[in-house]
Amino acid sequence: MKYRKLGRADLLCSVIGFGCWGLGGVAYGPISEKTSKKVLEKSFEKGLNFFDTSDLYGFGDDGRSEKILGSVFKKKRDKVILASKFGLLPHDGWFMPERYNLSYLNIALEKSLRRLNTDYIDLIQLHSPSMATLKNKNKMLEIISFLKKKKKEGKIRYFGVSVRSPKDALFVVKNYKSFYSIQTNFNIIDQRIIENNLIEKCNKLKIGIIARTPLVYGYLTGKINEQKKLLGKDHRKKWNNKQLKIWANAPKIFEKLIKNKKMTITQFCLLFCTSFQSVTTTIPGMMSLRHVNENLQAGKFNKLTKKETDEIFELYKSHSWINLTNKKNV
């Protein structure tokens, strides 16, 4: 496994991290606590040390994902980097309610600390703040002041923002340079952070990028299609079949690029994200030991060359990846 610093923060993160949304037992259908613990333990054994969660990953605000992480790593606390988020409220559908008053954030932080079985969180992130919140400069400066205070108190080590879109990410780095990290969408069929020069700007400002959705909810693995039966409250039910079909067909377009490489399309997609030095880590979800074994292998490969990433970019630009009926939600 390779490791990188998170921008100017003193955090050395595995280039393949663990997106813990699915461990809440809702986002990708049911998963047992026993299985969740097994995949976390196995990923740690294989060198992964960066775990990204949220107080919202679970049933409502029960923080199930945080609780499982806290249980597994209580005795290994100094060996892992725990990243969590707050500010977003429980919701169904596309509307995303939020609460960013300081009294709420303080209570939410204390609850996360208890669930994670720790007295500090390595990285706390604002969870999908709306553009209205981001544009409210007085509110944002108030939040940043609060975060700096909690850092000084030792409750958090660093703070960042998990944004709704690459456009929001660019706004944050242009206007609020105190943040240590930006979490945003980035994958072979969503290269907006290249197009808007976010990667370059974060590199200059020493702001670490956490790339989420590297496998586009599993569809870039080539193992599922739009006909896959989605169980429980699986969030992918929100997307129409046309969009799911576009995602499911995407691996076929890029498969020719791995013809002479000893890797799977899944590993290729993860390697693409980590081939950009400004991307500290990418955080695929993992729901089984098979996922862990395949995904973590990607952390051992050498980076793709500029020629290869340019070729991927040209393929990306030559296709349409978003069904217009869902465009505003991507």
Domain 3-329: state its class: alpha beta
Give the confidence band of 325 by pLDDT, cuts at 50, 70, 90: low
DSSP symbols for 221-269: GSS--TTPPPPTT-GGGGS-HHHHHHHHHHHHHHGGGGTTSSS-HHHHH
* Element of type H or E holding 59: none
When pLDDT is cut at 50, 70 and 90, the band that residue 330 belongs to is very low
Helix (H, G, I), strand (E, B) or coil at 34: helix
Specify the pLDDT at position 317: 96
The pLDDT assigned to 27 comes to 87
- pLDDT tens for 112-166 read 999 999 999 999 999 999 999 999 999 999 999 999 999 999 999 999 999 999 9
Residue 288 structure tokens: 């089984």
Tokens representing residue 152 in the block: 């000084």
Half-sphere exposure for 263 (CA within 13 Å, toward CB) = 25
Query: Residue 303: pLDDT above 50?
Result: yes
pLDDT of 93 above 80: no
Given a cut of 70, whether residue 324 has pLDDT beyond it is no
Q: Is the pLDDT of residue 329 over 50?
A: no
- Count of alpha carbons within 13 angstroms of residue 330, beta-carbon side: 20
Q: What is the pLDDT of residue 121?
A: 98
Beta bridge partners of 83: 52, 123
pLDDT bucket at 327, cuts 50 / 70 / 90: very low
Domain boundaries, the chain: 3-329
- Size (the chain), residues: 330
Q: 203-250: per-residue pLDDT in tens?
A: 999 999 999 999 999 999 999 887 788 888 888 988 988 999 999 999
Q: Does residue 23 have a pLDDT over 70? A: yes
d(CA 111, CA 108): 5
- The closest alpha carbon to 327, from 254, 249, 253, 239, belongs to 239
The conformation of residue 303, written as its DSSP 8-state character, comes to P
Share the mean pLDDT of the chain: 94
Orientation angle between helical segments 33-45 and 64-73, nearest 10 degrees: 50
pLDDT at 326: 53
Could you report the per-residue pLDDT of 246-282, keeping only the tens digit for each? 999 999 999 999 988 999 999 999 999 999 999 999 9
Largest alpha-carbon pair distance within the chain? 55
DSSP state of 80: S
The pLDDT value recorded for residue 282 is 98
Question: Cα(269)–Cα(26) distance, rounded to whole angstroms?
Answer: 25
Report CA torsion sign: 287, 293, 296, 297: negative
E strand or H helix at 328, and its extent? none
Q: Which of 307, 305, 285, 281 is nearest to 294 (CA)?
A: 285
